[in-house]
Amino acid sequence: MSFTSQIKTEISKQKFNKLEQITLLSAFTRNEQKDPIIKITTENNDVANLIFNLFQETYKLIPKITVRKGYNYNKNYLYIIEIKENINQIKKDLSINTNIPSNYIIADENLIKTYIKGIFMSKGSINDPKTSRYHLEIVVENETYANFISNLLNTYNLNSKILKRENKYMIYIKEAEKISDFLRLLGTTKALLYYEDIRIYRDHVNMTNRLNNCEQANVDRIIQTASDQIKDINEIKKYGLELLSEKEQIAANYRLKYKEASLQELSEIITLETNTKITKPGLHHRFNKIKQLAQKLRQKEEKHD
């Protein structure tokens, strides 16, 4: 079972009062109506049972339900629910004949959350957090309705956006934290815990990788710095290290002896072995002097060439 299907199943097990049932049916049916009947298709058996039972309980009718193999690659079963009775009254009750639902469908916060649950069960999906990207989307056919859904989501600061996809409109959320907030909004505790566990693990792995990369970059920088210093020292050795001051000669000799040591390590070694305190900035200053002299000697050689 996909992560999206798990979420929809978890929603379908929740309890809804009479008003919430109307709101849920309104959100779900608006995107599935097929004149002159209402025809709803879903791959989720639990969602199909919920919609079937809601219509039966609310309108005292028995929808026709058909099960058949899907046409997609994974060959999931499709559950098709058809309503052929009292169509006009149902559409009026559910407020699905207008571009956006009437105010009574989303009259309070509980009904707004219920509507979001319905639209997600009908047209929504969320990538499994184990995949390479975080992505939530809800696809609808009407731009006005897409803006309506996006605005509902953004009342909860979910930062949803809209993208036109062929002749449809995709409301989407990319931020991992916002998708987590969306799952809290749905009240899908199991899905939320799974999502957060994977997200925290991925964040930890990413942080570890970044630290490892940073550490490797530091090692590479230390090696390159030491290599450049050795080249400068060898340039001066052609003319004699006596060109350097006594302190600079000490730094040069210790660098040749400890070729891969960092400046911090080298300053500690010199301090310990000479019993003379030398700090990392002080050692850096000495190597700058060595570098300046080496550059002058190279320039002098280039002039003679």
Per-residue pLDDT for 266 more than 80? Answer: yes
Q: Which pLDDT does position 121 carry in this prediction?
A: 94
Q: Which pLDDT does position 34 carry in this prediction?
A: 57
Distance CA 227, CA 259 (A): 8
Distance CA 151, CA 52 (A): 29
Mean of per-residue pLDDT scores for the chain = 87
Q: What is the mean pLDDT of residues 265-276?
A: 88
Residues 6+ apart with CB under 8 A from 169: 139, 140, 141, 142, 143, 145, 146, 162, 163
**HEC string for 118-155:** HHHHHHEEECCCCCCCCCEEEEECCHHHHHHHHHHHHC
Q: Which pLDDT does position 272 carry in this prediction?
A: 86
Q: Which pLDDT does position 13 carry in this prediction?
A: 93
Higher pLDDT, 292 or 304: 292
Per-residue pLDDT for 252 more than 80? Answer: yes
Q: Which pLDDT does position 26 carry in this prediction?
A: 92
**HEC string for the chain:** CCHHHHHHHHHHCCCCCHHHHHHHHHHHHHCCEECCEEEEEECCHHHHHHHHHHHHHHHCCCCEEEEEECCCCCCCEEEEEEECCCHHHHHHHHCCCCCCCCHHHHCCHHHHHHHHHHHHHHHEEECCCCCCCCCEEEEECCHHHHHHHHHHHHCCCCCCEEEEECCEEEEEECCHHHHHHHHHHHCCHHHHHHHHHHHHHHHHHHHHHHHHHHHHHHHHHHHHHHHHHHHHHHHHHCCCHHHCCHHHHHHHHHHHHCCCCCHHHHHHHHHHHHCCCCCHHHHHHHHHHHHHHHHHHHHHHHHHC
Per-residue pLDDT band for 125 (boundaries 50, 70, 90) equals very high
> What's the CA angle centered on 47, arms 24 and 67, to 5 degrees?
130
Contact (Cβ atoms closer than 8 angstroms) between residue 266 and residue 283 = yes
Instruction: List pLDDT tens digits, range 1-57.
Output: 789 999 999 999 999 999 999 999 999 888 655 567 788 888 889 999 999 999 998
Q: What is the mean pLDDT of residues 219-247?
A: 87
Q: Which pLDDT does position 73 carry in this prediction?
A: 57
Residues 6+ apart with CB under 8 A from 85: 59, 61
Higher pLDDT, 218 or 8: 8
Which residue ranges form the domains of the chain, and what is each CATH number?
3-187 (3.10.28.10), 207-304 (no CATH)
Distance CA 172, CA 95 (A): 25
Distance CA 7, CA 120 (A): 9
Instruction: List pLDDT tens digits, range 150-198.
Output: 999 999 999 999 999 888 999 999 998 999 999 999 999 999 999 888 8
Higher pLDDT, 209 or 152: 152
Q: Which pLDDT does position 86 carry in this prediction?
A: 86
Contact (Cβ atoms closer than 8 angstroms) between residue 273 and residue 265 = no
Q: Which pLDDT does position 87 carry in this prediction?
A: 85
Per-residue pLDDT for 248 more than 60? Answer: yes
